Structure 1
Amino acid sequence: MILYPAIDLKDGNCVRLLRGEMDAATVFGTDPAAQAAQFEAAGCEWIHLVDLNGAFAGEPVNGAAVEAILSRVTVPCQLGGGIRDMGTISAWMDKGLSRVILGTVAVENPDLVREAAREFPGKVAVGLDARNGRVATRGWAEETDVMVTDLAKSFEDAGVAAIIYTDIDRDGAMGGPNIEATEALARAVEIPVIASGGVSSMADLTRLKDTGVISGAISGRALYEGAIDLSAALDLLRA
């Protein structure tokens, strides 16, 4: 199981939100590229990036910060937030991004997900952010009637590299991930599933790994606050 340390970008800074609320942001650093370099030095295999402003704006906003990260580290990076057309996807690929995460468009324009996955094999993930099993879009501001499992299954034949499942009510709350729902999703689809939201302890990582079906976990606040030691966590997951 791969641990993806998270860098959430708001106004050029590293922040973490509480349950997706933009006005509940805690700033953990003002130099995202330096933070990415720290994660790489600790031995991470991937870095997870989110353009929070972009998720609301519908277009990249923290592009300069992302580009600085890409120029600073050699490990692959995945990015979500405000990526809603092929032009933006192509531009990020040209700049060295390893994987785009498509969230809102997975609901609003699923054909774009399929087109992107064909054009960039292995480099497109779908971000499914949910409250009570229903997908939320546009920076989690709009809730839909679309069920997470139904949407995930609709992309089974699309060549999607991964599904990132976030339980919004767990995100940033340091209360543990929704392991039951994440495991159920991972068992329902063939696409690798990455857990996100509330991953806050070594015990959480152990429980996720022990399911045997969850391929990765994303953690942010727990790493910044020291609840998870990144090097120790990577050793645990590689054992």
Structure 2
Amino acid sequence: MILYPAIDLKDGACVRLVRGEMSHATVFNTDPGEQAARFQGQGFQWLHLVDLNGAFAGRPVNAEAVDRILASVTIPVQLGGGIRDLKTIGMWIEKGVRRVILGTIALRDPELVKQACKAFPGRVAVGIDAREGYVAVAGWAETSNIKALDLALKFEDSGVAAIIYTDINRDGAMGGVNVEATADLAFHLTTPVIASGGVSSMDDLVALKKEEDSGIEGVICGRALYDGRIEPAEALALLGAPAPGEVG
């Protein structure tokens, strides 16, 4: 199981929000490139980036910060936030982003996601952010009447690399990951699922690891890594990730 450290970008800095509220942002590092390099040095095999301003604006906003991150690491990066057309997808992939994450547009224009999967095989993931089981979009500012599973099922056999499932009520709140909902979603899909939102301790990682066979292939962790609740080497060893210097 892959552990993805999260770098959420707001106004060029690495922050963490509580339940997606932009007004409740804690700045953890003002140098995104340095933070990315630190995560790589700790042995992580991937990075998860979110352009928070972009998610609200509907277009890339923190491009300069993303560029600095891409220049600072050699490990693959996945990026979401404000990516809503094929041109933007192509731009990020050309810049070196390994995988783009489509969220709002996945709800509003599922056909575009399918087109993107054909144009960029293996490079497109879908981010499904749920509040009480229903999909939220536009930086979580709007909640739809579509259930997370119903949206995910639209992309079965479309070539989506992964579904990134976030429980908004858990995100940044350190209340524990919603293992049951994540495992239930993964069980009903053939597309791999990456868990996100609420990971606060090693116990959460243990619980997710137990559900790996349901189709959970990764987990995103933010605040717990920044504040030291989860120690990178211990977490990577638990999830079976290779140590620094090993081939994964």
TM-score, normalisation: structure 1: 0.99
The match for 2:93 is: 93
The match for 2:117 is: 117
Distance in 1 (CA, whole Å) between partners of 2:240 and 2:161 is 21
- Number of aligned residue pairs: give it: 239
The match for 1:52 is: 52
The match for 2:225 is: 223
Distance in 2 (CA, whole Å) between partners of 1:178 and 1:148 is 14
Give deviations 1:155-194, integer Å, cap 9, x for gaps: 0021000000000000000111110000000000000000
Q: Unaligned stretches of 5+ in structure 1?
A: none
Does residue 1:4 correspond to 2:42, yes or no?
no
Q: CA deviation at 1:107?
A: 0.4
Q: CA deviation at 1:236?
A: 1.1
The match for 2:171 is: 171
Distance in 2 (CA, whole Å) between partners of 1:45 and 1:17 is 24
Give deviations 1:75-109, integer Å, cap 9, x for gaps: 00000000000110000011000000000000001
Distance in 2 (CA, whole Å) between partners of 1:93 and 1:133 is 31
Distance in 1 (CA, whole Å) between partners of 2:3 and 2:181 is 19
Does residue 1:36 correspond to 2:36, yes or no?
yes
Distance in 2 (CA, whole Å) between partners of 1:159 and 1:50 is 22
Alignment of 1:90-239 (within 5 A): 90-212=90-212, 213=214, 214-238=216-240
Give deviations 1:49-91, integer Å, cap 9, x for gaps: 0000000000000000001100110000000000000110000
What code does the residue aligned with 2:18 have? L
Distance in 2 (CA, whole Å) between partners of 1:198 and 1:44 is 19
The match for 1:62 is: 62
Runs of 4 or more off by more than 4 Å in structure 1? Answer: none
Q: CA deviation at 1:231?
A: 1.7
Indicate the larger mover: 87-96 or 207-216: 207-216
Q: Unaligned stretches of 5+ in structure 2?
A: 242-248
TM-score, normalisation: structure 2: 0.95
What code does the residue aligned with 2:42 have? A
Percent identical residues: 64
Distance in 1 (CA, whole Å) between partners of 2:35 and 2:4 is 13
What code does the residue aligned with 1:21 have? E
Distance in 2 (CA, whole Å) between partners of 1:74 and 1:8 is 19
